[in-house]
């Protein structure tokens, strides 16, 4: 049996999950789908995905199960309990949680899965809605090497930069390092745009110069232009970034690590959410700086 002959169960078809599942379909994978709101899966169903009425039904009918949900509490709900994945997955099947979640939760899933002869990987991603659509995500994997190698062709359908970072939980720790980097970088992007405007410059022309130099970053190149246009549609939700930064801050404190940049960014994003932008894209942070510098 080739990998594409395995039936993939995909749980969670939000901004990123939908595009990821669609890329798997285009690559020839057979997809079973479940999400809380069926309407969000209609495009996938129209392309041939098979709708399942419950997590249990999806699990029983799938060889590989991918989860891309919102919060650690959602991960717990999906994996544990009487109707959860771990209770109904077949021995020899593979579980891949691509949600950004707690490293300790990834380790728990791995241990319980291994006890039932089930493979489990934590494989959070970075690259936003654009990376999900183009299949160019960075995928950070934690788990056993044999499972990683077996699933590498599947990962290559979803992303380009795919690295096994270490044992269970290592993928989540790597993603938190990614989010810590973005947290401070987003403040810098906002301040640079506001500075350019105050100096009487065209911020779009400024970006043409600085994105190709030492200041260059994915956020500057991809989210900076959205900030300038006032395009705050979500590629990645503010509320989910707050979740990620909260997990990162908790993990840093567990290691007695001080992260002032992360703390400041979390504070600013919480203010943004309190102002009604929890469902906006992370580039909406510019609103806070515009308000402060009227």
Q: How many Å apart are CA 126 and CA 55, to the nearest integer? A: 25
Residues recognised as catalytic: 175
Q: What is the pTM of this model?
A: 0.92
Locate all alpha helices (DSSP H) within 117-230, ordered by sequence: 128-134, 145-158, 170-198, 203-210, 218-222, 224-229
Contacts of range 163-168, beta carbons closer than 8 Å, 24 or more positions apart:
163/139, 165/140, 165/141, 166/142, 167/110, 167/142, 167/143, 168/106, 168/107, 168/109, 168/110, 168/111, 168/120, 168/121, 168/122, 168/142, 168/143, 168/144
Give pLDDT tens digits for 243-294.
Answer: 999 999 999 999 999 999 999 999 999 999 999 999 999 999 999 999 988 6
Give pLDDT tens digits for 93-106.
Answer: 999 999 999 999 99
Sequence-distant (≥ 6) Cβ neighbours of residue 67 within 8 angstroms: 11, 12, 75, 78, 79, 85, 95, 96, 97, 98, 99
Give pLDDT tens digits for 192-222.
Answer: 999 999 999 999 999 999 999 999 999 999 9
Q: How confident is the model at residue 120 (pLDDT cuts 50, 70, 90)?
A: very high
pLDDT of residue 14: 86
pLDDT of residue 185: 97
pLDDT of residue 294: 65
């Amino acid at each position: 049996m080739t990998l594409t002959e395995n039936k993939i169960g995909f749980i969670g078809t939000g901004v990123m999950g939908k595009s990821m599942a669609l890329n798997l379909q285009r690559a020839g994978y057979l997809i079973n789908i479940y999400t809380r709101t069926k309407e969000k899966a209609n495009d996938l169903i129209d392309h041939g995905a098979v709708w399942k009425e419950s997590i249990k039904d999806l699990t029983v009918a799938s060889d590989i199960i991918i989860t891309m949900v919102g919060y650690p509490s959602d991960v717990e709900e999906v994996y544990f309990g009487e109707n959860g994945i771990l209770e109904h997955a077949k021995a020899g099947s593979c579980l891949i949680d691509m949600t950004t979640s707690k490293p300790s939760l990834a380790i728990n899933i791995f241990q319980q899965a291994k006890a039932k002869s089930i493979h489990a990987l934590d494989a959070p991603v970075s690259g936003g809605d654009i990376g999900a659509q183009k299949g160019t995500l960075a995928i950070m994997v934690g788990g056993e090497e044999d499972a990683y190698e077996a699933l590498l062709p599947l990962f290559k359908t979803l992303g380009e930069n795919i690295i096994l970072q270490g044992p269970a939980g290592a993928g989540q720790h790597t993603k938190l390092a990614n989010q810590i980097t973005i947290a401070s970088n987003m403040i810098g992007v906002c301040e640079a745009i506001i500075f350019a405007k105050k100096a009487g410059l065209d911020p779009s022309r400024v970006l043409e110069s600085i994105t190709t130099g030492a200041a260059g970053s994915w956020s500057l190149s991809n989210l900076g232009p959205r900030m300038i246009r006032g395009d705050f549609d979500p590629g990645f939700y503010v509320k989910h970034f707050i979740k990620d930064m909260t997990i990162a801050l908790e993990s840093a404190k567990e290691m007695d690590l001080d992260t002032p940049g992360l703390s400041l960014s979390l504070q600013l994003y919480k203010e943004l959410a309190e102002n009604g932008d929890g469902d906006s894209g992370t580039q909406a942070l510019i609103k806070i700086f515009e308000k402060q510098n009227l």
